[in-house]
Amino acid sequence: MPSSASGPDSSPFIRAVGRALPPHYVSQEQLIAAFRELWATRHFNVERLEDLHRAVQVGGRHLALPIDDYRALVGFQQRNDAWIRAATELSETVVRQALDKAELTPADVDHVFFVTVTGVATPSIEARVANRVRFREDFKRTPLFGLGCVAGVSGLARAADYLRAFPTHTALVIATELCSLTLQREDLSIPNIIASGLFGDGSACAVLRGGEAPGARGPRVVASRSVFYPDTERVMGWDVVDTGFKVVLSAKVPNMVREHIRGNVDRFLGEHGLARGDVRHWVAHTGGPKVLKAFEEALELEAASLERSWRSLREVGNLSSASVLFVLGETLEGPEPRPGDWGVMMALGPGFCAEMVLLRW
């Protein structure tokens, strides 16, 4: 069943979104040059691998570490230790930025949802951030691991569910993904070559407030919908191996979008008396060029409808769960939204599954 509220005026609202990228930027051609020597020793057709890298249409990416530092990371512990350090720093940055944008302080935060799929930590990253920004001692924590790219939308939906029960509270959704620290350099499979060209590093933090909290500004989260596709475990995910996370990425993803997303979206909107033509803002995860084209075709969208998603993909790559929050933040801060506008956030991820959120300005 969908989660819903009695109306947009009683729904939680999104107050602000903070976004940050690591400082180490490399172009796609620089990355290809760094890989070329390794590929040449293990594959007879280096040009084919380079073409696959370029086909994802990513111009460059920000990396958690300087590119030369990755050579020393050979085991899972080394990669994960680097992930903990960088994820904590980046998450603190976006929390402070988001709270400043929302004109709130750490003491105003009641619940923090932290989502990731690129590293593991106990205590989890939001606890480490709490020691730096000093949330109240009674703040609640919900770390979520394993939802992958869909987690930016899922985390926001779960935070909105919480705020419906506690309508005066404030919640944060932190999505921090350092995909570069999962790279399996020795894996020359097609999925890993594509992933090494597609995924980047970044972090985002959304500030949500309950419907009875003061200072309402920004779109309301009117409803959310989760859709699980049975028996699709091998479409996307990780195989956990001795060296860390080995990507599972099926070529079926765009076809699954074409097969399912129109019906999923139409049913979701129909339950609220809406149709696709009523939606002015589409906030889509930057899954890759084939996925974005599949969204456009399946939903019969105009070319400009996903322009922010396309631009984000070209400029910084697929940031897994953080990507859709980057697109949301740019939408919130852009000039287009007007009072009364409807919007849909959507993403897909391991399971295989989809998550949708209905917004109203």
Q: What are the residue numbers of the active site?
A: 149
**HSE-up of 64 (CA within 13 Å, CB side)?**
31
Which amino acid is located at 328 in the chain? L
Question: What is the H or E stretch that residue 48 is in?
Answer: helix 46-55
User: Contact, 80 vs 120, CB < 8 A?
Assistant: yes
Q: How far apart are CA 285 and CA 319, in angstroms?
A: 9
| Burial grade of 359 (CB within 10 A; 0-12, 13-18, 19 or more) | buried
Q: Which residues fall within 8 angstroms of residue 119, CB to CB, at 6 or more apart?
A: 79, 80, 83, 84, 87, 178, 181, 182
Q: Using DSSP, state whether 343 is helix, strand or coil.
A: strand
Q: How far apart are CA 187 and CA 111, in angstroms?
A: 39
For residues 294-305, b (16+ Cβ closer than 10 Å) or e, as one string? bbbebbebeeeb
Q: Strands, E, within the chain: which ranges?
A: 3-4, 13-20, 24-27, 60-63, 111-116, 140-145, 170-178, 201-209, 220-228, 236-241, 244-249, 279-284, 342-349, 353-360
Dig out the tokens for 92 from the structure: 């603190």
Torsion sign, CA atoms 359, 151, 128, 137: positive
CA-only gyration radius of the chain, Å? 20
